[in-house]
Amino acid sequence: MGRTIFIILILISAVSAAAEEYSTMTESSIMGRNFGLPSAGGQGELTVLMETAFFFKNLELFNLDHALGETFTGYRIPIRAGYKPRKDLALELGVMLGHDFGDQDRLNATAPVVRLMYEPTSKLYVIAGTLLPTHWICDAFLDDSQKFRNDVEQGFQLRANKNWLKNDTWINWRVREGEVSAEEYEIGMSHQFRMLGNVLHLDGQFMWTHAGGQVSSRGRIEQNLLYLSGASVGTGEPLGFSACQDIRLSYRWMYSREENDHTDLAKGYGRSFSAHSDFRIQPYFVIRAFAEVFNGDGFVATLGDPLFQLDEYNQIGCNLLFNVADNRLHIEAGFVKQYTADDVNLTYQLSMVWNDGFSLGRIKSIH
């Protein structure tokens, strides 16, 4: 029965195809998407937290005026020491190391990691410093390839990972203003309400990308505002008669406002219909099949996937995810076939992520 459902979904995908070439990992602090927070160890403990992520992502794009194919491959390693003086307060200090394969520099991605985290109530997190870049937001708003272009994100973040509410709100300050360079930052919000036993999901998202300031002599002003509302319905729980974990149908409506100091205000919109299903073939092996059809008019997102700026954009694909070695090693392979402007393009991705923590002992507080 599970195989039959899988075949039906693929047939549906051929008609209405998904902008989901992003990673489906949920156990990483730098890859995929999640609402949670990596643990800094137990109260009073000093721990070392390590994560090693190797990635390969190949965008095969042809015959598109505003988007070129690109390949990202390399590794990112955030190494940090964590300490929890209280059960609701944690501090992480460390460094992000990385290298893009093919570059001559031996180490070309380095940045400090300084993260202060407060949990005022269960599964609600306030974060300052280095952000968790695993934002649960539409790829049309924030392309996941931004993770490979930037070493870290810095600012403030609020996250909720409750059963009925998922939230990721952040401000990422990318460029500090100077006499010549204008300040750049983005503010993102992603809210999801889960209702009726996880059957119904209601989504609201917002993103504001800003460039410009009063100190810079360039006089540069750029504003990009994005809005999304949507809903999805699904099974809410694994189906008892097959390997199918979830079948979900979604609708999303998007709106953009783009303005700068050289052109008039431009407004655009987009809407998408999508479907995906997860199949647990083994306890450690999950397949996600997905499909989506997108159409819009004048939709523009500064940091989003440029393919969403097309009037029509359809995809079909699948991701294979293996969680092995006591759920510490995550291996993912993905393939997407894209139908863009009467052409067919492809995206491939492969990643391996290992994460773990080591306790160095307990520290006695002086208070």
- Which structure tokens are listed for 100? 């893009």
Please give the pLDDT value at position 39. Answer: 66
C-alpha–C-alpha distance, residues 245 and 210, integer Å: 40
pLDDT tens digits along 2-46: 444 444 443 333 333 334 566 888 888 888 888 877 666 778 788
Biggest CA–CA distance in the chain, Å, is: 68
Determine contact, residues 202/231, Cβ cutoff 8 Å: yes
Domain residue spans of the chain? 2-362
66 Cβ partners below 8 Å, 6+ apart?
306, 309
Segments in 91-223 forming alpha helices (H): 146-149
User: Which of 87-101, 149-163, 208-222, 349-363 comes out lowest in average pLDDT?
Assistant: 208-222
pTM value is 0.88
Strand 124-130 to 329-340 pairing: unpaired
User: Which of 80-94, 205-219, 261-275 comes out lowest in average pLDDT?
Assistant: 205-219
Please give the pLDDT value at position 4. Answer: 44
Q: What is the mean pLDDT of the chain?
A: 86
E-strand ranges in the chain read: 45-60, 70-86, 89-100, 109-121, 124-130, 154-161, 165-175, 184-195, 200-212, 221-234, 244-260, 266-282, 285-297, 312-324, 329-340, 343-362
C-alpha–C-alpha distance, residues 222 and 14, integer Å: 39
- Which structure tokens are listed for 54? 């190797």
pLDDT tens digits along 46-59: 889 889 999 999 98
The CATH architecture of the domain made up of 2-362 is: Beta Barrel (2.40)
Please give the pLDDT value at position 19. Answer: 46
Q: Taking residues 296-316, what's their average pLDDT? A: 91
Please give the pLDDT value at position 239. Answer: 76
Q: Taking residues 212-235, what's their average pLDDT? A: 85
Strand 312-324 to 124-130 pairing: unpaired
Please give the pLDDT value at position 244. Answer: 87
C-alpha–C-alpha distance, residues 135 and 285, integer Å: 24
- Which structure tokens are listed for 25? 């990992």
Please give the pLDDT value at position 3. Answer: 45
pLDDT tens digits along 311-325: 898 999 999 999 999
Give residue 109's pLDDT band: very low, low, confident or very high (50, 70, 90). Answer: confident
Taking the CB of residue 6, how many other CB atoms lie within 10 A of it?
A: 18
C-alpha–C-alpha distance, residues 308 and 22, integer Å: 14
Taking the CB of residue 106, how many other CB atoms lie within 10 A of it?
A: 6
Please give the pLDDT value at position 8. Answer: 40
- Is 80 exceeded by the pLDDT of residue 332? yes
C-alpha–C-alpha distance, residues 194 and 198, integer Å: 5
The C-alpha R_g of the chain, in whole angstroms, comes to 21
C-alpha–C-alpha distance, residues 327 and 257, integer Å: 42
Please give the pLDDT value at position 40. Answer: 66
Please give the pLDDT value at position 364. Answer: 59
